[in-house]
Amino acid sequence: MKRISLPSLSFALVMLYLFLPVAATILYSLATEWNSTVLPEGLTGKWFAELYADPRFLQAFGRSFLLSFLTTVVAVVIIVPAVFSIIVYAPRMERLVQILVMLTYAVPGVIMAVGLIRTYSGNGIPMVIITAGAYLVGLLPYLYQGTRNSLLAMQARSLMEAAELLGASHWQAFVRIIVPNIMSGIFVSSLLSFSILFGEFVLINILVGGRYETLQMYLYAKLSSSGHVASAITVTYFVLMAIITGLVVKFTRRSFARKEVP
């Protein structure tokens, strides 16, 4: 008989530990009453029905979606061309960009919040815009890495030279040749960025507070009032993240497959 090894045991424990809270939340969101018994007394969909009928939830969800989506789009539009230019025309500048990436990665949200409040509060600019600006910078590590990998994989520099020799302008070459080639990489990085922003709580809570209630803040508000509804929100959020993760995996596999069969 095979002995259970330490690695397998710790793996099983990790998986159990990671799954138990998820499973309990799902169960709680479907439970009728669950205050004194070990297992729920009955199953129901009424918490979800109640949640999806609540306009405050729909608004919060919409705000989160809008904020994350628009910020991701703006971040892609600003960061991707800049990283492209730096890699193709000024590779030496990459050192500087890498330092900036490290900096954004190493500075936690709560520290950024202090600086942003000191700099921008009371200037009349809505703090949501400032938060979105901080999100743009926060996405830098993910978009930089994704863009850089795609560009290096397709040898963007020689491709640009070839296109320009054939008479294309810089912009033409970039839009017609580079962008289509890095599209799947950008798409995957964007999905990741979107999911990161969708789960963000620190900056929006400290900078904006209740004036722009996102999904995470709505969930926080619901924690004390109804556990079942809060579970339904958590499950909804988790399902959305699962869908995004699934898409990321699907598209990464596809781009891998394309690389294997040229």
Residue 222 three-state SS: helix
- The residue from 32, 85, 155, 158 that contacts other proteins (CB under 8 A) is 85
Residues 200 to 259 in contact with other proteins, rule: CB under 8 A: 201-202, 205-207, 209, 216, 219-220, 223, 227, 230-231, 233-234, 237-238, 241-242, 245, 249
Residue whose CB is less far from other proteins, 20 or 66: 20
Q: Which stretch binds other proteins (CB under 8 A): 2-10, 54-62, 150-158, 177-185?
A: 2-10
Residue 198 three-state SS: helix
Task: Kindly compute the dihedral angle of the four CA atoms of residues 101, 103, 107, 111, in this order, to the nearest 10 degrees.
Answer: -120
Interface mask toward other proteins for 139-178; x: CB under 8 A: -x-----------------------------xx--x----
Residues 107 to 146 in contact with other proteins, rule: CB under 8 A: 107-120, 130, 133-134, 136-137, 140
- The residue from 1, 3, 6, 262 that contacts other proteins (CB under 8 A) is 6
Q: Which stretch binds other proteins (CB under 8 A): 58-66, 79-87, 145-153, 181-189?
A: 79-87
Sort residue 122 into left (φ over 0), alpha (ψ -120 to 50) or beta.
left
Smallest distance, other proteins to C-beta of residue 236, A: 10
Asked if 106 is part of the footprint of other proteins (rule: CB under 8 A), the reply reads yes
Residue whose CB is less far from other proteins, 13 or 153: 13
Alpha carbon distance 157, 91 (integer Å): 10
Asked if 69 is part of the footprint of other proteins (rule: CB under 8 A), the reply reads no
61: tokens are 């969800």
C-alpha closest to that of 240 among 186, 190, 191, 184: 191
Residue 44 three-state SS: coil
Q: Determine the Cα angle at 133 with ends 130 and 135, to 5°.
A: 115
CB atoms within 10 A of CB 144: 22
First to last CA, the chain: 47
Asked if 24 is part of the footprint of other proteins (rule: CB under 8 A), the reply reads yes
Interface mask toward other proteins for 39-58; x: CB under 8 A: --------------------
DSSP state of 207: I
- The residue from 79, 178, 188, 232 that contacts other proteins (CB under 8 A) is 79
Smallest distance, other proteins to C-beta of residue 155, A: 18
Alpha carbon distance 205, 5 (integer Å): 45
Please return the burial class of 115, using the count of CB atoms within 10 Å of its CB with bins 0-12, 13-18 and 19+: exposed
